[in-house]
Amino acid sequence: MRRRPDEIAKMRKAGRVVAEMLEVTSGGVRPGVTTAQLDKLAREVLERRGARSNFLGYHGFPAVICTSPNNVIVHGIPGPYVVQEGDIISLDCGAIIEGYHGDAAVTVPVGEVPPKVDKLIRVTEEALQAGIAQLVEGNRLHDVGLAVQTVAEGAGFSVVKGYVGHAIGTQMHEDPAVPNYWPGTPGPKLRTGMVFAVEPMVNVGGEETVVMDDGWTVVTVDGSLSAHFEHTIAVTDDGPEVLTVPG
């Protein structure tokens, strides 16, 4: 779907709130903090900015952010987990302003982490940036996944295929899906006004995933570490515009 400029303007506002949630929650990450406390920090931002949560109540999800430490790939539920020195943790945040959605995630290290873990985080962010650079009118959607996959696999990591990015607008998850790999076909042609959430999930080990008994938490089957970065991006006449950035 192609969004009008006034719709993109609302998504820009939602994106600013999401960026602030990421800033505040990642600023709150330290040894000893619980993931429930990080969720509370994000709720305070939503309240302060007059935004609604798109995560809370989504198929019954009980929080406004996802917190995914270490071998958790995505959809970790904030709760009693105590963040430890040497962890990595993905923070995935979303907000709705005037009916329009934003969605973004970062992965941060807690204190010192080994060089390979640092590389995992850096490569996943680079893979996201490479994907974003493909969001240009006239390209095909799956140029994004090809770019993400090339960066991640080129660094010796694996790309999760069971979970993907998505178009976004008046719903958080709209069609089409945005795979982080080349799915074998080029996909739709990109046009100005299309908006996507691109979100590579990259593992140190294998790409296989399993959902825990809580019905949400997605972990790596081999227990290896996983990183996740996400932005909401509009295709514009001037190239890709990342909407989930501070105002």
Shortest distance, position 230 Cβ to Mg ion, whole Å: 5
Shortest distance, position 93 Cβ to Mg ion, whole Å: 7
Dig out the tokens for 62 from the structure: 């009980």
Distance of CA 83 to the CA centre of its chain: 20
Residue 158 and residue 170: Cα distance in Å, rounded? 32
For Mg ion, the closer CB: 65 or 147? 65
Give the x/- contact pattern for Mg ion in 84-113, rule: CB under 5 A. Answer: --------x----------x-x--------
Q: How far is CA 143 from CA 165, 236, 244, in A?
A: 13, 17, 21
Dig out the tokens for 22 from the structure: 């990421």
Our finding on whether 128 is near Mg ion (CB under 5 A) is no
| Cβ count near 93 (within 10 Å) | 32
ω into 5 cis (within 30 of 0) = no
Give the x/- contact pattern for Mg ion in 11-30, rule: CB under 5 A. Answer: --------------------
Shortest distance, position 94 Cβ to Mg ion, whole Å: 6
Shortest distance, position 223 Cβ to Mg ion, whole Å: 23
Q: Which of 151, 246, 138, 247 is nearest to 198 (CA)?
A: 151
Question: What residues numbered 194-213 form the site for Mg ion, per CB under 5 A?
Answer: 197, 199
Shortest distance, position 169 Cβ to Mg ion, whole Å: 13
For Mg ion, the closer CB: 61 or 86? 61
List of residues 6+ apart from 43 with CB closer than 8 A:
53, 64
Q: Residues in the site for Mg ion, rule: CB under 5 A?
A: 92, 103, 105, 197, 199, 230
